[in-house]
């Protein structure tokens, strides 16, 4: 059997690796971005000089041949689902398959702004985006980034690392406040400004001006203010990268529609990762999720379905992590920007530093629902267990040192957090003293 996979991102590559582990099927992975799989989340570190492209590849180049995974560096322009055939855009070749996995990822959004296709206007998604940015960089004095989210802030940090002036236009009244509760979002507003990024809130792009030679030279805001710039970064979200499939029989809404087994409406065709949309998402999850680890889980799950037994997609407890400039962020379970009626939201913030912990729990049962941490690293496996087991928030507070990632090397704030909880809810909880590890016994 020949399995063709379009897309060599985390989803497609995980599927390929696991299909190989489970079977002897012929596997072809097609991608037009890079010949080999690399970590997209590390794009910023290549630009900032922390890593080379080679370091972002998950596997040595010989790995693919040794594991009989054929890499095809080409672009699929169309699919004939009836004859099970892929056609490539830059030559007349085609490839037939028995089963097809579509894992084509996302593409940056553009909302029809005048000037959005000028040179110097770009998103930050692909290796090609990074190359364009690198080429333009010597000419950039001032960059305007449109959109207030994680990728916009990464782009701002990248440009600041090369001493460029950066303005961020955020339509909302506070950074990423559609996702983060007010306290977190306001803390980040401060942190961004401390990094000398000109954060403009309630600011909307109206048009991008042309310098007369097809290059962006300024942005005009809805307020009619004009800002001269040489780069306009469009980081206003992403959409499923499926435009080349729109005229086919494949059912697509905001992504390629799949059932619990990641099957599309067409027999022998599956979709995973950023480009798919779950018809019946698992409880508490969104139909589309553009995140690294869910793509990985989908790839692994689908390999089982294709090679051994039909396996449902079960992503488990939601988690994500990121860095907002210097602040590490982790989130587990559900923490909405505005809690639902049954949810009590308790948070503790360090009086001076950008360190914050929020615990969301059910008002009547006190069962934990979600946690946000900023500036403190927590242990994934501990939170995963607490959330899966519906643990009470008070049992968690008593045992909070258990979740501290590395108490030997990071300051601990558990005592302040429990005291603040006691003061807020009139309780008298006492923390269990943490078990001393080998290192602390050795050095203390």
Strand arrangement of the beta sheet that strand 85-88 belongs to: 76-80, 85-88, 94-96
**Beta carbons within 8 Å of 353's beta carbon, 6+ residues apart:** 375
The only residue of 148, 273, 333, 375 in contact with ligand FAD, by rule CB under 6 A: 273
Terminal Cα distance for the chain, rounded: 61
Give CA–CA dist 410/404, Å, rounded.
9
In the bound complex, what is the minimum distance in angstroms from residue 207's beta carbon to ligand FAD? 25
Q: Which stretch binds ligand FAD (CB under 6 A): 54-62, 250-258, 289-297, 427-435?
A: 289-297
Residue 106 interacts with ligand FAD (CB under 6 A): yes or no: yes
In the bound complex, what is the minimum distance in angstroms from residue 388's beta carbon to ligand FAD? 20
User: What contacts 24+ positions apart, CB below 8 Å, involve 226-229?
Assistant: 227/142, 227/144, 227/167, 228/142, 229/142, 229/143, 229/144, 229/167
For ligand FAD, which is the closer residue by CB, 26 or 239? 239
Give CA–CA dist 269/158, Å, rounded.
39
Residue 301 interacts with ligand FAD (CB under 6 A): yes or no: no
Residue 10 interacts with ligand FAD (CB under 6 A): yes or no: yes
Quote the distance between the C-alpha of residue 417 and its chain's center.
29
Residue 43 interacts with ligand FAD (CB under 6 A): yes or no: yes
Residue 87 interacts with ligand FAD (CB under 6 A): yes or no: no
Residue 233 interacts with ligand FAD (CB under 6 A): yes or no: no
The only residue of 11, 177, 230, 404 in contact with ligand FAD, by rule CB under 6 A: 11
In the bound complex, what is the minimum distance in angstroms from residue 230's beta carbon to ligand FAD? 21
Per CB under 6 A, contacts with ligand FAD among 243-272 are 244
Give CA–CA dist 411/140, Å, rounded.
40
The only residue of 151, 180, 262, 376 in contact with ligand FAD, by rule CB under 6 A: 151
Q: Name the residue number minimizing CB distance to ligand FAD.
A: 105
Instruction: Tell me, by CB under 6 A, how many residues bind ligand FAD.
Output: 35
Give CA–CA dist 86/244, Å, rounded.
12
Which tokens go with 129?
Answer: 């985006």
Residue 104 interacts with ligand FAD (CB under 6 A): yes or no: yes
User: What contacts 24+ positions apart, CB below 8 Å, involve 51-55?
Assistant: 53/127
**Residues interacting with ligand FAD, by CB under 6 A?**
6-12, 30-33, 40-41, 43, 75-76, 103-106, 124-126, 151, 154, 241, 244, 273-274, 290-292, 295, 320, 322
């Amino acid at each position: 059997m020949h399995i063709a996979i379009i897309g060599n991102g985390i989803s497609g590559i995980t599927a390929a690796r696991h299909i190989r582990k489970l079977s002897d099927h012929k596997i072809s992975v097609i991608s037009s971005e890079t010949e080999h799989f690399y970590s997209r989340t590390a794009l910023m570190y290549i630009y900032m000089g922390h890593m080379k492209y080679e370091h972002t590849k998950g596997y040595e180049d010989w790995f693919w041949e040794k594991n009989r995974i054929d890499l095809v560096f080409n672009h699929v322009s169309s699919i004939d689902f009836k004859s099970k055939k892929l056609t490539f855009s830059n030559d007349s070749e085609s490839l037939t398959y028995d089963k097809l996995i579509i894992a084509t990822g996302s593409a940056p959004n553009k909302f029809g702004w005048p000037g959005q296709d000028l040179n110097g206007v770009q998103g930050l998604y692909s290796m090609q985006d990074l190359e364009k940015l690198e080429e333009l960089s010597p000419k950039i004095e001032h960059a305007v980034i449109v959109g207030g989210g994680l990728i916009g802030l990464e782009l701002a940090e990248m440009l600041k690392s090369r001493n460029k002036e950066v303005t961020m236009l955020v339509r909302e009244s506070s950074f990423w406040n559609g996702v983060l509760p007010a306290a977190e979002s306001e803390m980040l507003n401060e942190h961004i400004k401390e990094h000398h990024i000109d954060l403009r809130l309630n600011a909307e792009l109206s048009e991008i001006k042309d310098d007369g030679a097809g290059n962006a030279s300024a942005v005009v805001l809805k307020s009619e203010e004009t800002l001269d710039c040489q780069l306009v970064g469009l980081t206003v979200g992403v959409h499923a990268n499926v435009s080349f499939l729109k005229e086919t029989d494949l059912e697509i809404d905001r992504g390629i529609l799949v059932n619990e087994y990641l099957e599309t409406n067409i027999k022998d065709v599956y979709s995973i990762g950023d480009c798919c949309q779950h018809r019946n998402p698992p409880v508490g999850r969104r139909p589309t999720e553009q995140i690294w680890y869910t793509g990985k889980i989908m790839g692994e799950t689908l390999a089982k379905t294709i090679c051994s037994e039909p396996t449902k997609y079960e992503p488990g407890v939601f988690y994500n992590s990121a860095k907002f400039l210097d602040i590490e962020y982790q989130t587990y379970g559900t923490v909405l920007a505005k809690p639902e009626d049954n949810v009590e939201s308790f948070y503790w913030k360090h009086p001076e530093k950008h360190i914050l912990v929020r615990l969301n729990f059910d008002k009547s049962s006190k069962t934990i629902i979600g946690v946000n941490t900023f500036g403190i690293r927590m242990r994934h496996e501990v939170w995963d267990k607490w959330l899966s087991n519906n643990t009470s928030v008070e049992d968690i507070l008593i045992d909070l040192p258990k979740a501290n990632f590395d108490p030997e090397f990071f300051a601990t704030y558990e005592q302040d957090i429990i005291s603040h909880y006691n003061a807020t809810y009139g309780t008298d909880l006492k923390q269990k003293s943490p078990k001393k590890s080998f290192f602390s016994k050795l050095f203390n």
